[in-house]
Amino acid sequence: MEDFETLLAACRPAVERYVRFRVPERADAEDILQETYLAAFRAFHGLREQAAFKGWLLQIARNKVNDWFRTQAKRLELPLDSVPERELSYGRLGPIYTPVEDVMDRLESRDRQILYLYYWRELPQADIAHRLQIPLGTVKSRLHAAKRHFKAHYPSRPAQAKGESAMIKELPAFLPEYTIEKLNLPPFETRWEELPGWLLIPREGEKLRWGLYEFPSRRRTEWSELETVGRVEIHGVEGVEFTAVQHGAADYYRTGCIDRIERRFAAQLTDTHVRFLAESHVENGVRKCFTFLDGNSFLDNWGFGPDNCGQETHLRRKGILHREGDTVTGQAGPNLQSIDVTGRYRVTINGKSYDTVCVIDIECFDDAVVSEDYVDQNGRTVLWRRYNRDDWALERYHKPWTQQLPHNHRLTVNGQTFVHWYDCVTDYIF
């Protein structure tokens, strides 16, 4: 079975990512992978087209994962009058953050019971009738009423008034002056649910605008509109889909347009992490789609954390990085990829003051790049500042950043110089 071993070696990383993304415990994931490979080996002789091996193997893995979830669900033994949705819809990073549980809690016990049996236990209506000892017609009427009550309680976006702009808040053409004052107070903890680099919370009904402002001119060079459009499932992992329209963006991604780039994303927010699941855009007239199973072609651009686990939503000081004035120190080494809260600051911008913690990100956003996120107690970014290492993209710009932007602010990070390039703010502060 030499062909099987060769094909399996090429597809193994994608299959392992898929299973480990969906199954929370590593030991369980390893068991499922072994069952998948064994089942594939036994059935390999029936595969007609070796070019379809990857999709065929992923389908076997998907079936094995679903079997595992069915087994787990049978062990839950949940009472019919209490249905915690988060116990039934979870993945490797924990329960998926949805409003379903809150809605179920507000329904009458009879509605919760019928919805649980029909949707979670997937029982046919005849079986529900037998279990509850009621006529089949009563099951149908109760289910219809329960779905109507659930829909009435489920949060929906308010209707937009006629003539109202989809995005009301405007971003200024020039960034207002701001001050950053170090506070002699301990950093607070908060829940930080924004997607790394894009600042949108992947939750239904969310939308925002953000703008980039170059320094020292403070002129806006690019701005984007982001809006969630509904729920989505990528390779069996649930999330939220959102659109992002970039205006005035540089053509770094060969999209064929420097004025307007439209992207579609899938992202996931759990109790512990927030992460990207997929991205698509049009490139040279062809829509390109990338998911978390596509290896480096996805992970290099949209991945965050080990195995794309995402960014932690519980923001707190870990003691990894230390900052004194404009000097940051931490674990030394190339491609450090460290992120930590380094202090508490008052940011005053646009006539408002915000109590924030400063999050330093070393090369998580990009190689040779450091960023500062000033995050308030609501878990929203007030100000995001980017710094380039002096030799960042030297082959493109042909001279170091200390020469390109000699008057811009600088940070010294583990003995290396980083130069402030641009800022990002959202309509949250306007």
| CATH 2.40.360 domain residues, the chain | 183-429
Q: According to DSSP H, which parts of 23-99 are helical? A: 26-43, 53-76
Percent of the chain at pLDDT > 90 equals 43
What's the pTM? Answer: 0.67
CB 386 within 8 A of CB 368: no
Give 61-106 pLDDT, tens digit per residue: 988 888 887 776 555 444 444 444 433 344 444 544 445 656 776 7
CB 33 within 8 A of CB 21: no
Q: Enter the DSSP assignment of 158.
A: P
For residue 326, how many other CB atoms are within 10 A of its CB?
Answer: 11
Determine the Cα–Cα distance for residues 87 and 247; give it in Å rounded to an integer: 41
CATH architecture of 87-153: Orthogonal Bundle (1.10)
Residue-level pLDDT at 167: 41
Give 321-361 pLDDT, tens digit per residue: 999 999 999 874 444 458 999 999 999 998 899 999 999 99
Q: Is pLDDT larger for residue 228 or for residue 165? A: 228
| CATH 1.10.10.10 domain residues, the chain | 87-153
CATH architecture of 183-429: Beta Barrel (2.40)
Give the relative orientation of helices 26-43 and 53-76 as an angle to the nearest 10 degrees: 130
Domain boundaries 2-76, corresponding CATH code: 1.10.1740.10
Give 412-426 pLDDT, tens digit per residue: 999 999 999 999 999
For the chain, how are helix, strand and coil distributed in percent, rounded to 5?
Answer: 30, 35, 35
Q: What's the residue count for the chain?
A: 430
CB 265 within 8 A of CB 242: yes
Banded pLDDT at 52 (limits 50, 70, 90): confident
Residue-level pLDDT at 42: 87
**Tokens (6 digits) for 21:** 């993304």
Determine the Cα–Cα distance for residues 243 and 222; give it in Å rounded to an integer: 16
* CA 290 to centroid of chain Cα atoms: 14
| CATH 1.10.1740.10 domain residues, the chain | 2-76
Residue-level pLDDT at 192: 95
Among 50-59, 96-105, 191-200, 393-402, the range scoring the smallest mean pLDDT is 96-105
Determine the Cα–Cα distance for residues 19 and 239; give it in Å rounded to an integer: 16
The pLDDT of 8-32, averaged and rounded, is 84
Q: Is the pLDDT of residue 244 over 80?
A: yes
In order of 29, 41, 90, 131, the CA distances from 34 in angstroms are: 9, 11, 22, 37
* CA 78 to centroid of chain Cα atoms: 30
